[in-house]
Structure 1
Amino acid sequence: MDILIKSFLWVLHASITASITALFIILILKLFNKHIGVRLQHALWIIVVIKLIMPLQFESNLSAFNLLHENHKSSSDIEKQSTIKDMTYATSDFLREGKYYWNYRDKNKVLSVDASPEKTNYIKGKVIKEDVATYILSIVSCVWAFGILASVVFLLIFKQRFKRKTLNLEELEDQAVIKLLDECKREVNINKDMAVYISDGFKSPCISGIVKPKIYIPQCVCSIDKHKYLYHVLLHELTHYKRKDLVYNSLAVIAVILHWFNPIVWFCMKKMKLQRECACDAYVLEIIGEEKAEDYGMTLINFSKLISSNNKALQLAVFFETKNQIRRRIEMIKNFKKGSYKMSVAAVVCCVAVSGVVLTNAVNAKSMKADSITTVSSNNDSIKKQESKFLIDSPHKTYFDIKKAQEVAEFKVKVPDFLPEGYTPTDGFEVIKASDKDNVFKTFFDFRKGEKISSSFEFYVSRVNIEEFLKQDAENKNKQMQDPESLNVSKSDKSGKVETSKEVMNLAGINGSNITIKSALPGDYNEICKFFVWQNEGMWYSMQYSRELGKSGNLKKFANASTDDIGKIATSIKYIEAIKSVNYSVEREVSTELATLMIYDKEDLNKAKELLGFDPKLPLTINNDIKINDSAVGISGDSDIKNKKINYELNTFYSLKGVHLTFTQGKSFPSYESIKKNGYIEIDQKEIKVLNLKIGDKEVFKYEDSFESEPNKQSKDEHYVWEENGFYCSVSIFGQVTNPDEIAKEFVDSKPID
């Protein structure tokens, strides 16, 4: 049923937008009818057909449906709007994007346990209305599907009747007519073989069959002595085939079947049929010449009189229509001028422009003003994204510039303009890959006592419902903690159970959800996190306002914001340009323990080159087993931070089946000269022998650091150090591998990225 409803909503969206497109085209034809040729008029109606049946549509800033955009207000203002206003927003989104939300502001909204009975009853009423609406939509979708089925059955019956009627027809063998047909085919430049059949069962001449075309002519037409009339008829039907009108007619039939409920679609297809005939007439007149237009017009008039008496005949094809349509065609023939069938460059440009305006959807979240909904970057941002592909496409990216984080996330975010006393933003903004198409923006707000962080809360933003992401994120973290290799816990110590629950919550007039996630961790530890989830201007927001961790019965709180503060934070969110009370450009602490710059794309790499003072190597692939994880510029250990004498180094991290590798590059390596001179390195007051290897044209020093990892078990790490063009490189392999020298060679032989 869900697929049926989604299909109906897609068709309904296409039907409404195509109807708007049709009205737009009618207006164009009304204003510029005398200046638009019949061929262009027919092309405009084809655009409507494409709009009706095209399953995939593209976004464009040129789309006419961008005009349906609403300038949404701030969250506090939105809460004051009426249900009618919400329906207006929802309708706007449906027409622009083809997506429908039951309650624009209040999707999935619920109230807290201690909410007043009046508010609880209000929301219950809303839920009942949504259930009723869903039920009604299900019924309407079923009626729509039944209408399609009935239309298809009718079409099949019609085709079966047509097949029976033409089954025993004999192909015309009159040599004069066959010769005339060949002449007409040469005139129209058609090489395909076609048969002509004579029958009294047809009201007018027609052509049928896209692959194997056949021409059917009433007996009364062939009985006329004047072959020039038959010449006009054959030329007209062949022109239909030449112009691919049979294909356009099939598309129109599909459109009518899908949109049988829309009278505007029927009207459009009727208009398209008339313009198709007029365009075909114009094509014929281009062939026979302007001087013979009168004879062609008389053919229409005479045949219409002749055939009108045959009321019992089946009307299948298109040569003759109603009196008004024939009058319209006669008028076009009367005013025909040589060359009018051809489409000028201006006409082609007009057709392309109209297609770009009406065949595309509005940009999903196009910013019309600074405070309007913006979920996708501008065209320039999109182009920049395409040109700047990720070198390291980490599923979890950290940026120290909120604007860069928004660019990578591909949507603008609102952040709090109010924080409880003592809380400050962290200096990092994270972009988490929730799926191949969707990202989640995340940041932290810490409560500090001196240098110590005693409490913090997390803040999330997403284009899609964030509830599923929060659950999946908790499960992923739990899986990492269940890995005995990562935390050195026994397999019997694993729990891994994650439970989620949802309850109603209303804070400061914002209706949202309270999501509780309970995770059972190794060692009988438990973690309980609570999130407030709500929507603002089509985007999903969430705060982890409570986090407890510890053994059962002895949980310690690491985050505990009051509900009053949560409500104030939620109502204060604004775009970064409008923030006044909170500083999101926090100066980073200078430390050798913190990354200065994370490397993800070429823009980051160029900044890294400036900090390092040389072109670093960044091997993205070593072999099929070694995977690159992260790369970051940091402050090297030999820096004099107090006196602001800073040296930078680039650390790139790799993994190989439980083994970790670090590739470090910097302008200094304090023990290098000592290694080169003495042949050993001193670690923990131990002199460790260094081997001198020749890898390519590089002199590489290798040493092993042995240690006891577990009782009665010795492990060793292997290190390689060498000098490059004015900087030093080192590779450290933490764990046992069978081919350490070969791995080191891959790093030595690697080149800087252009």
Structure 2
Amino acid sequence: MNVIYSLFADFLDDTLAASLVILVVIAIHAILQKVISARVRYLLWLLVIIRMLLPVIPDSPLSMFHVLQFGEGIKSALTGQAADTAPLPNLQAAAPSNQGLDSDSDPQSGTPGTGDSINAGHLQQADGQAPGGRHSSAAGIYSPWLKAAAIIWFGGAVFLFLNGLGIMSRQLRGRKRLRRVTDPRPIAVLEDALNRFGVKRKIPLYTGSRAKSPFLSGVFRPWIYVPELALQELTSPQLLHILAHELAHYKRRDTLWNLLGSAAAAIHWPNPLSWLGLHKMKTDRELACDAYVLDVLGEEEAAAYGLTLVEFLKQFSKGRTDREVLYFFGSQHRQQITRRVSMIHSFKKGSYRISAAAVLLLILLSVVTLTNASGDSKTDNTAVNDDLINLYKNRNYNRLDRAVEEAGFAFQAPSVLPPDFILERAYLAVTPPQAATATAKSEDNEIEQVTLYYERYDGDIHTGQFSLEAYKDSSVEQIYTALELSESSRGDGGTPLPVDRKPTTIGGINAIHVNVHVNQYVQKLFYIWERDGIVYKLYIGSGTLSQQEIASLMTSIKYPDEQMKRSFVNKKLFNVDVIDVKDLRMAADIMGFVPKFPIEESGFAMNRAMLTSSIEFSYPLDGLGMSRTVFWTAYSNPDVTFLQMQNQGLYETFKEEGQVFFFRIDGEKFAVPLTAAHVNGQEVLVTEPYKIDGELSKPTEPDFLSYFWQDQGVIYKVGFTGVPTLEDQQTIVSSFMKVPAADIDKLAAAAAQAH
């Protein structure tokens, strides 16, 4: 069923875009109705059909969807996905988890020497729900109402397709009950018409009493039907007009476009604008066909051709029409007949031909309507360098949009996730750690690898994971060789793990399927492929996904559009790197205050900044402490960390109790005594020297020391690795005290000037 839900989500996107194209075409018709010919009007409708049926839409900077961004909001409301671009609300967490995907492949999995262990694992909400929930990823597509709507849409589409096949089947059976015309007069008229239109193919003519109007049927083996009464009563010139009309449909391939229009109607059946567009297209098709007939027969035949149309209306009644055939008259209203007669009356020789201006109009409309905004695609992925910390390139993000912006190269990602999965984090690396055999290396610290980690939780229990890695400047064989080398060396006792590979095709992706046999019960599954110069490696944990879920996942992989980039956000992930101006603005929104951001202070430089959990500040004294966020920065030479968070009475509690609790490696807390002192005229609380894990630490591990103070509702912490002299301690703490809150606009201007 996930495949149906995914198709329905794509349908919502496609039908919204098609609706906008239909409105554009209607507007053009209204504005240029006296300028463009019937043929051009019909060709504009063919753009609508193409838009409704194309499974893949290319990107263009000229796409009209750059301007019509309001469509994204409508689609977001329909799918139940979060599409707002407002600042993220406060991040919340309850307990750390050390589980993750191949943590040894991520050089950022910890930050030693800070005085507090940095846990890059997944954190749960205080209410026990899976982090981020269905509203933080494309899993939001699977809301109950959307599931019901998807099933209704799919059922309606299947019914209409089957109904269309039934009509085609009835056409074939009905033809057997008709009589093939062999009478000399109508055959001679048909031959004349074939010659005038340059048709060398023998198209049979049938008659009978099945329908009251002539029609053309058959896409690949066309044939013409003329009612028996019409053959008897119409003069040869009138019969020529009718047969010419049907041959015009044949020459213009209208039977094929009619079939495609029926397919579009079946897919987009819930959209009333699609039915309106198809109705108008059929009207303009008849006008274009009439113009083609007159272009072939000659302008002098216009009056006689119009009289034939009117005479037919008087003498022959309408019959029931099938959408797979093209009727000369069919079920058209009198107003439409009037339009046809008016066009015939005003027809001028050569008006059927397409002018250079019309060609330019069609090309322009094709570019702006049959494309998507290129900002969603691989064509616009140059990252703007506004880094504030220039020495640090590898980075973690909790949201897809920031990963896309900062990668510097275009990569694809799953647009629909298996049930209950969320995007846990995106990791960007300068040098792919698992692509050691890659020959192309970055010369200017460009990002060369993006890894997207996806997690599934049942309450606080980790139940599954997979990852998708994208490699720039690598080949499939290089990535496979690196994988084989890495995985085969992980066997027990030095015995290499068996690694099997075979070619496979899933969701239109030609990939290498790699199976690593860990033991008789456990296997690791990998898929490696290349697309548009980027190599992808999908890692599926053993037993995580079924084959159907894997196929659905790979089928959904595409370049992230605006909806994807806004929807895939893990609002509960911590250890989110703050490197550039956008990150700092986001951090200020999340923290609820503008943090201090001393890049260089007292002769030492910042080497890392991130948002992390309050457990890095201290052991929470109550459940509320778990839901708070810390802004954490690290410096070297000396090794110092600087942490900031909202106070909310925490400093007063530390002072009253005379101690602070920290996390041990086993998740338990240990107490460290505090002493009140003054630095730069400001009261501070100073810990005794302590080990990182208290009594569980080894004697050889370094000592740590921490200072706390509060100012204007914010509590600060400076952590030392090692114990400097008292004078050095107070100098450094005093420096951090004097630093004002960050002037983000000034930092942005300085970063832009520097780069």
In 1, are the aligned partners of 2:211 and 2:319 still within 8 Å (CA)? no
- Kindly provide the CA deviation profile for residues 514-537 of structure 1, in whole angstroms up to 9, marking residues without a partner as x: xxxxxxxxxxxxxxxx9959xxxx
Aligned partner of 1:277 in structure 2 is 286
SS of corresponding position for 1:210: coil
**What CA distance in whole angstroms lies between the structure 1 residues aligned with 2:248 and 2:487?**
73
Q: 1:146 aligns with which of 137, 155, 160?
A: 155
**What CA distance in whole angstroms lies between the structure 2 residues aligned with 1:35 and 1:582?**
50
SS of corresponding position for 1:34: coil
- In structure 1, stretches of 5+ residues that fail to align are 71-87, 366-374, 379-409, 418-423, 445-457, 512-529, 534-541, 586-754
For the pair 1:214 / 2:179, whether they are aligned, the reply is no
Aligned partner of 1:37 in structure 2 is 37
Alpha carbons of structure 1 residues 14 and 503: separation in structure 2 relative to 1, 3 Å: closer
For the pair 1:27 / 2:30, whether they are aligned, the reply is no
Aligned partner of 1:356 in structure 2 is 367
Q: 2:590 aligns with which of 510, 528, 532?
A: 510
Aligned partner of 1:250 in structure 2 is 259
**What CA distance in whole angstroms lies between the structure 2 residues aligned with 1:191 and 1:558?**
95
Count of residue correspondences: 471
**What CA distance in whole angstroms lies between the structure 2 residues aligned with 1:319 and 1:23?**
28
**What CA distance in whole angstroms lies between the structure 2 residues aligned with 1:165 and 1:573?**
80
Deviation at 1:106, TM superposition (A): 8.8
**What CA distance in whole angstroms lies between the structure 1 residues aligned with 2:484 and 2:63?**
45
Deviation at 1:332, TM superposition (A): 0.5
In 2, are the aligned partners of 1:425 and 1:583 still within 8 Å (CA)? no
Alpha carbons of structure 1 residues 110 and 139: separation in structure 2 relative to 1, 3 Å: farther
In 2, are the aligned partners of 1:206 and 1:216 still within 8 Å (CA)? yes
**What CA distance in whole angstroms lies between the structure 2 residues aligned with 1:60 and 1:239?**
35
**What CA distance in whole angstroms lies between the structure 1 residues aligned with 2:196 and 2:315?**
27
Aligned partner of 2:57 in structure 1 is 57
**What CA distance in whole angstroms lies between the structure 2 residues aligned with 1:218 and 1:133?**
53
- Kindly provide the CA deviation profile for residues 263-293 of structure 1, in whole angstroms up to 9, marking residues without a partner as x: 1111111111111111110111112221221
Deviation at 1:330, TM superposition (A): 0.5
**What CA distance in whole angstroms lies between the structure 2 residues aligned with 1:547 and 1:425?**
33
SS of corresponding position for 2:349: coil
Tell me the amino acid that sits aligned with residue 578 of structure 1. A
SS of corresponding position for 1:197: strand
Equivalent residue runs for 1:497-646 within 5 Å: 504=572, 510=590, 578=748, 580=750
SS of corresponding position for 1:426: coil
SS of corresponding position for 2:233: coil
Alpha carbons of structure 1 residues 4 and 493: separation in structure 2 relative to 1, 3 Å: closer
In 1, are the aligned partners of 2:386 and 2:752 still within 8 Å (CA)? no
- Kindly provide the CA deviation profile for residues 282-319 of structure 1, in whole angstroms up to 9, marking residues without a partner as x: 111112221221110011011112122x6578795321
**What CA distance in whole angstroms lies between the structure 2 residues aligned with 1:342 and 1:271?**
21
In 1, are the aligned partners of 2:132 and 2:572 still within 8 Å (CA)? no
Aligned partner of 1:322 in structure 2 is 333
Deviation at 1:134, TM superposition (A): 1.7
In 1, are the aligned partners of 2:88 and 2:590 still within 8 Å (CA)? no
In 2, are the aligned partners of 1:197 and 1:217 still within 8 Å (CA)? yes
- Kindly provide the CA deviation profile for residues 246-268 of structure 1, in whole angstroms up to 9, marking residues without a partner as x: 11111101100100111111111
TM (norm. structure 2) is: 0.52
Aligned partner of 1:639 in structure 2 is none
Equivalent residue runs for 1:427-442 within 5 Å: 437=412, 441-442=428-429
Tell me the amino acid that sits aligned with residue 261 of structure 2. A
Alpha carbons of structure 1 residues 560 and 334: separation in structure 2 relative to 1, 3 Å: farther
- Kindly provide the CA deviation profile for residues 383-429 of structure 1, in whole angstroms up to 9, marking residues without a partner as x: xxxxxxxxxxxxxxxxxxxxxxxxxxx44267664xxxxxx642767
Alpha carbons of structure 1 residues 581 and 377: separation in structure 2 relative to 1, 3 Å: same
Deviation at 1:166, TM superposition (A): 2.1
SS of corresponding position for 2:750: coil
Identity of aligned residues (%): 24
Aligned partner of 1:717 in structure 2 is none
**What CA distance in whole angstroms lies between the structure 1 residues aligned with 2:241 and 2:703?**
88
In 1, are the aligned partners of 2:408 and 2:447 still within 8 Å (CA)? no
Q: 1:412 aligns with which of 383, 392, 413?
A: 383
The higher-RCO structure (CA 8 Å, 6+ apart) is 2
**What CA distance in whole angstroms lies between the structure 2 residues aligned with 1:347 and 1:234?**
29
Tell me the amino acid that sits aligned with residue 303 of structure 1. F
- Kindly provide the CA deviation profile for residues 462-490 of structure 1, in whole angstroms up to 9, marking residues without a partner as x: 988455799788x99999788769x9x96
In 2, are the aligned partners of 1:184 and 1:235 still within 8 Å (CA)? yes
**What CA distance in whole angstroms lies between the structure 2 residues aligned with 1:276 and 1:359?**
21
For the pair 1:112 / 2:83, whether they are aligned, the reply is no
In 2, are the aligned partners of 1:49 and 1:252 still within 8 Å (CA)? yes
In 1, are the aligned partners of 2:63 and 2:369 still within 8 Å (CA)? yes
**What CA distance in whole angstroms lies between the structure 2 residues aligned with 1:543 and 1:51?**
49
Aligned partner of 2:527 in structure 1 is none
Aligned partner of 2:351 in structure 1 is 340
**What CA distance in whole angstroms lies between the structure 1 residues aligned with 2:262 and 2:705?**
62
In 2, are the aligned partners of 1:442 and 1:461 still within 8 Å (CA)? yes
More strand, by proportion: 1
Aligned partner of 1:241 in structure 2 is 250
In 1, are the aligned partners of 2:25 and 2:44 still within 8 Å (CA)? yes
**What CA distance in whole angstroms lies between the structure 1 residues aligned with 2:484 and 2:716?**
34
**What CA distance in whole angstroms lies between the structure 1 residues aligned with 2:133 and 2:696?**
37
**What CA distance in whole angstroms lies between the structure 2 residues aligned with 1:339 and 1:94?**
49
Deviation at 1:345, TM superposition (A): 1.0
Tell me the amino acid that sits aligned with residue 4 of structure 2. L
Greater Rg over alpha carbons, structure? 1
Alpha carbons of structure 1 residues 101 and 461: separation in structure 2 relative to 1, 3 Å: farther
More deviation in 157-166 or 464-473? 464-473
Tell me the amino acid that sits aligned with residue 111 of structure 1. Q
Tell me the amino acid that sits aligned with residue 44 of structure 2. L
Alpha carbons of structure 1 residues 60 and 142: separation in structure 2 relative to 1, 3 Å: same
In 1, are the aligned partners of 2:179 and 2:206 still within 8 Å (CA)? yes
For the pair 1:201 / 2:371, whether they are aligned, the reply is no
- Kindly provide the CA deviation profile for residues 220-271 of structure 1, in whole angstroms up to 9, marking residues without a partner as x: 2101151111010011101110111111111101100100111111111111
Deviation at 1:7, TM superposition (A): 1.2
Tell me the amino acid that sits aligned with residue 750 of structure 2. K
**What CA distance in whole angstroms lies between the structure 1 residues aligned with 2:277 and 2:250?**
22
Q: 1:227 aligns with which of 236, 241, 244?
A: 236
Alpha carbons of structure 1 residues 239 and 213: separation in structure 2 relative to 1, 3 Å: same
**What CA distance in whole angstroms lies between the structure 2 residues aligned with 1:193 and 1:36?**
34
In 1, are the aligned partners of 2:131 and 2:572 still within 8 Å (CA)? no
In 1, are the aligned partners of 2:248 and 2:293 still within 8 Å (CA)? yes
- Kindly provide the CA deviation profile for residues 167-186 of structure 1, in whole angstroms up to 9, marking residues without a partner as x: 22221010111111111001
Alpha carbons of structure 1 residues 336 and 478: separation in structure 2 relative to 1, 3 Å: closer
Tell me the amino acid that sits aligned with residue 426 of structure 1. L
Q: 2:391 aligns with which of 426, 430, 435?
A: 426
Alpha carbons of structure 1 residues 140 and 347: separation in structure 2 relative to 1, 3 Å: same
Alpha carbons of structure 1 residues 557 and 254: separation in structure 2 relative to 1, 3 Å: farther
In 2, are the aligned partners of 1:59 and 1:360 still within 8 Å (CA)? yes
Deviation at 1:13, TM superposition (A): 1.4
In 2, are the aligned partners of 1:101 and 1:107 still within 8 Å (CA)? no
Q: Cα RMSD between the aligned structures?
A: 5.6
Alpha carbons of structure 1 residues 481 and 230: separation in structure 2 relative to 1, 3 Å: closer
**What CA distance in whole angstroms lies between the structure 1 residues aligned with 2:219 and 2:716?**
70
- Kindly provide the CA deviation profile for residues 346-396 of structure 1, in whole angstroms up to 9, marking residues without a partner as x: 11111011110111000134xxxxxxxxx8665xxxxxxxxxxxxxxxxxx
SS of corresponding position for 1:33: coil
In 2, are the aligned partners of 1:205 and 1:318 still within 8 Å (CA)? yes
Alpha carbons of structure 1 residues 493 and 220: separation in structure 2 relative to 1, 3 Å: closer
Equivalent residue runs for 1:676-715 within 5 Å: none
